[in-house]
Amino acid sequence: MYLESITDPAALARAAALARSRGASIVAIKAGSSQHGARAAASHTGALVGNDAAIDAFLARNGIWRAGDIGELVRAVPLYLQGRAPGQGRTVVMSHSGAVGVMSADLAERHGLPLTALQPSTLDRLGAILPEFGTAGNPLDMTAALMGKGDMFPRVLDMLGADPQADMLMVGIPVAGPGYDVEALARDAAEFSSRLGKPLVASAPQRSVRDVFVRHGVPTFVTEADAVAALAQYAGHARLSDSAAEPDHGVPALQPLDGIGLQDEARSLLLLAEAGVPVVPYRVCANADEAMAAFAALGGNAVVVKGCAAEVPHKSEHGLVHLRLTDATAVAQAAQACIATLHSLGVEKPRVLVAAMVKGRHEFALGVSVDPAFGPLVMIGEGGTLLELRKDVVTLLAPFTVDDVKAACARLRLAPLFDGYRGIPALDLDGLAASAVALGNWALRHREVLKSVDINPLMVMEAGAAW
């Protein structure tokens, strides 16, 4: 499909479900990417998500592969038409050129295409077939000995076909002059793929070589880059379709929401707590005396004092955030300073928020932007003051599950932190995922009146830690 807009998402979702039920795959290219007007200069989430991310999330939800360009729109068509199951996408790269194998391995990693770890027994059998200077591994280097050993290629294919961890194959043929039986190579490749039902592609810069492989029904590409990209797309689309085929999570009934316009932090924290997102203990105060009383009520431990006014959403820019305050005098001084600043900014009834300081392992951002056509989109990513600069975020279309969140978070650049990194303990991914699900469900209930939600920072703790 070629798309410029999606005016009836429900109709397209029904069409996609019908296509999947009939074994058809949909690949779409969407032109005219744009962002919603910064429907809130105050909304980081709205600016980061925008209409294009909404379309991404919607297409993924419905098992539609979004192509980045015309080449990607048609590149994998021969694989789709054969319809051979890609399994988990674990791929073996083989060639009679070591350089092609190494470059293909690099390309596979770039595309997130897993190269399989062949079983030791497979490696032993391959070692017995290949010449001593060949490489029995993945990538697999058959060397130029392929030219003089007509039975080597089909024997290697048989060994790979017997390995349960080899789901797909890519055969690179950078050169094939006199002495190479191209007809036999193409015939053996086609027979292997058809007999075992495993996707197999070839790359060959020589037109004469490609023509032979295409005649035998082998998807064939000019470059290793296109061959690897086609396999990655085909396997990725299969995973997307499998996910889309899961039962609908259900959409909560609409509920009213009191108040209009931008909410101050105290009201926002109350709403988040009602939604099921954990919030720190806090008190709202109108003067320094109330702030000192709040400090005592919170246990006399370190607190933060912040200006609290819906008219001033970006507090740090105005010096309205005072951290790590550990005595009543400092709390009173901070409260007085915040109230004075809010007065100077034209706030009629300035207040401050006194909250417990909680030290997390890493700052994340969690937000919602409600798209008029697609509904609530939840953004998850690295938080802090450089949120818009780093843009390490993923977006999910509500409703979704905890497992959906975990799969999305695995695409973040900071994903290794969830498992622990260089002595840093693992992060509480379960807590982050549960908060995202809760926020998405809450946004669905209020989708007709809600515009956006920004939580930055959302402090993610060490896995298993209490606070």
Same domain? For 219 and 317 the reply is no
pLDDT at 62: 93
CA 213 to CA 225: how far, in whole Å? 18
At residue 147 the predicted structure's pLDDT band, cuts being 50, 70 and 90, is low
Does 251 map to a domain? Answer: no
pLDDT at 41: 40
Of 146, 207, 195, the closest CA to residue 169 belongs to 195
Query: Which two three-digit tokens encode residue 131?
Result: 């010449």
Q: Is the pLDDT of residue 271 over 80?
A: yes
Same domain? For 165 and 127 the reply is yes
Same domain? For 65 and 104 the reply is no
Q: How many CB atoms lie within 10 A of CB 47?
A: 20
pLDDT at 36: 45
pLDDT at 209: 95
What average pLDDT is seen over the chain?
A: 89
- Helix segments in 130-223, DSSP class H: 152-161, 182-196, 207-215
Does 262 map to a domain? Answer: no
At residue 108 the predicted structure's pLDDT band, cuts being 50, 70 and 90, is very high
Domain tally, the chain: 4
Does 265 map to a domain? Answer: no
Q: Kindly tell me the sign of the dihedral angle through the C-alpha atoms of 191, 192, 198, 202.
A: negative
Same domain? For 239 and 150 the reply is yes
Q: Which residue has the higher pLDDT, 233 or 254?
A: 233
Q: Is the pLDDT of residue 388 over 50?
A: yes
Same domain? For 395 and 443 the reply is yes
At residue 148 the predicted structure's pLDDT band, cuts being 50, 70 and 90, is low
Does 272 map to a domain? Answer: no
Reported as type and span, the H/E element at residue 355 is: strand 351-356
- pLDDT, tens digit (0-9, with 9 covering 90-100), for 390-411: 788 999 999 999 999 999 999 9
What average pLDDT does the segment 136-161 reach?
83
Side-chain half-sphere CA neighbours of 457 within 13 A: 17
Same domain? For 334 and 447 the reply is no
What average pLDDT does the segment 365-389 reach?
87
Annotate 438-453 with DSSP letters as a single string. Answer: HHHHHHHHTTTT--EE
Does 301 map to a domain? Answer: yes
CATH classification of the domain holding 366: 3.30.470.20
CATH classification of the domain holding 192: 3.40.50.261
Same domain? For 13 and 90 the reply is no
What average pLDDT does the segment 229-245 reach?
92
Same domain? For 424 and 399 the reply is yes
Q: Is the pLDDT of residue 304 over 50?
A: yes
Lowest mean pLDDT among 132-141, 346-355, 453-462: 132-141
- What residue numbers bound the domain in which 57 lies? 2-73
pLDDT at 37: 42
- pLDDT, tens digit (0-9, with 9 covering 90-100), for 69-96: 999 999 999 999 999 999 999 999 999 8
What DSSP designation does 115 have? Answer: B
Query: Which two three-digit tokens encode residue 62?
Result: 């419905």
Does 253 map to a domain? Answer: no
Same domain? For 58 and 107 the reply is no
